[in-house]
């Protein structure tokens, strides 16, 4: 297993729509393990493959608290089948938008169809934080970021900040 570098805003890779996973095989499971290690190292509670530069419909989630044993969930080709009418608001953050948090309103529950790590078709009815996390990560697979759910003014400020940070980190070019 290895920790993969995270793709950070404003990298256009984050806006790509991910492709379905064709098969659950050894290379895919290595990617799953690398994603889990990367997520735990960050630390985060969810990670989509696109966030490590792999445009595949794959995500990992672990909502266990620090003092609890790890409880990783793997979602291959996840698809939201149904959303609740009830709404909930959570303060969301994103490993690809470090140190920025905002309240986002989403459906309070979702029913999601997916393939598990063993290649079996599964379905989950998720509520609360798991519902929010799944929606956040599935958004990534569609090129959508959580800041797309906040006001345009706030979103523009965040994007501007991260573009400036990216310019500052870019190697300077000497002319001459």
pLDDT over 90, % of the chain: 92
Q: Is residue 175 part of a domain?
A: no
Res 175: pLDDT: 54
Q: Is residue 2 part of a domain?
A: no
* 47 phi/psi in degrees, rounded to 5: -155, 130
Q: Is residue 98 part of a domain?
A: yes
Mean pLDDT taken over the chain: 95
* 52 phi/psi in degrees, rounded to 5: -115, 20
CA-CA distance, 108 to 149, in Å (whole number)? 15
Provide the pLDDT confidence category of residue 170 given band limits of 50, 70 and 90: confident
More confident residue, 172 or 159: 159
Domain containing 153 equals 12-169
Q: CATH number of the domain at 136, please.
A: 3.90.45.10
Structure tokens at 122: 């599964």
| 31-65: pLDDT as tens digits | 999 999 999 999 999 999 999 999 999 999 999 99
Global confidence as pTM: 0.94
Residues serving a catalytic function are 137
| 81-137: pLDDT as tens digits | 999 999 999 999 999 999 999 999 999 999 999 999 999 999 999 999 999 999 999
Q: Is residue 123 part of a domain?
A: yes
The number of folded domains in the chain is: 1
Q: Is residue 140 part of a domain?
A: yes
Q: Is residue 1 part of a domain?
A: no
């Amino acid at each position: 297993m290895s920790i993969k570098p995270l793709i950070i805003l404003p990298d256009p890779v984050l806006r790509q729509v991910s492709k379905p996973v064709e098969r659950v095989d050894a290379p895919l499971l290595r990617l799953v393990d690398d994603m889990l290690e990367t997520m735990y190292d960050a630390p985060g509670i969810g990670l989509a493959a696109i966030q490590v530069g792999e445009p595949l419909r794959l995500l990992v989630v672990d909502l266990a608290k620090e003092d609890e044993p790890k409880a990783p969930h793997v979602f291959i080709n996840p698809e939201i089948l149904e959303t609740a009418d009830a709404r909930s608001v959570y303060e969301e953050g994103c490993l690809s938008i470090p140190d920025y948090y905002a309240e986002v309103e989403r459906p309070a529950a979702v029913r999601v169809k997916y393939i598990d790590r063993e290649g079996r078709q599964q379905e989950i009815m998720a509520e609360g934080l798991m519902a929010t996390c799944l929606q956040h990560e599935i958004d990534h697979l569609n090129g959508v970021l959580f800041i797309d759910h906040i006001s345009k003014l706030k979103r523009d400020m965040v994007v501007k900040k991260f573009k400036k940070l990216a310019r500052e980190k870019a190697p300077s070019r000497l002319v001459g």
